[in-house]
Structure formats: C-alpha cells, structure tokens
Amino acid sequence: MAAAQRSAGTTFRRTLLNPAALGYLAVVAAVWVWIGVDTLLVTHADASMAGVWGFFVTAPTSFLLVSLPGPLPLVGVAVGALVQALALGAAYRWATGRPRGQGRASHA
C-alpha cells in the first residue's frame, strides 16, 4: 500500500511540476498580482472589473463555485487553478511521454 501511495504522490508531483502546468500557474499568479495592484493602488471613478479576470483565467472550474456564499468563490478559484494545472500537466506528460516512432507500424 505504501508503494501505491508513493506512486500516486510521484504521479501528482510529475503532473504538476512540468512546464505546461507551471506556466499556467504563473499566468494565474500574475493575473492575481495585477488584480491586487489594480484594487489597492489604482483609483477608479467607477468600480473596477479587474477581479473578474481571476475567475476567467481559471474557468470553467472556478465557475462551478462562483455562486456559493462568502469566501467560497475564492476557494473555487484556487481549486480551479489546481485542477486545470493538473489537466494541463497530464496533457503535457501524455504528449511528451511516449517514445518517438512507436506510434506507427513500419512499412518496409
């Protein structure tokens, strides 16, 4: 059982720590930094819609929790970012993990 847990942890780490997943998480972090700067440092005559981009960048997963009360929509953004980073990481591993040249039969 410990080997199964170790392999699941290793798979999770390898799926999350690759260029596609880390690049996506960097974009999400940059958007939230921009939202924070816009909210705290920029004066607006009207309301700013910058906070909406935090939900757009993690859509569609974050939209599942947007209607919940209190701070739960922000939890939805964090969960959405993690789920989508895992999906991108899995797609990256799938696309780059197969050995080259074994997908087709050779016609010699």
50-98 residue pLDDT tens: 888 988 999 888 888 888 888 888 888 898 899 999 999 999 988 988 5
DSSP SS3 for 49? coil
- What is the separation, in whole angstroms, between the first and last Cα of the chain? 46
Q: Say yes or no to pLDDT of 9 above 70.
A: yes
Q: State what percent of residues in the chain have pLDDT above 70.
A: 84
pTM for the model stands at: 0.76
The token pair at 35 is 């939202």
Neighbours of 31 (CB within 10 A): 19
- The DSSP-derived string for 50-74 is TTHHHHHTTTTTGGGSTTSSTTHHH
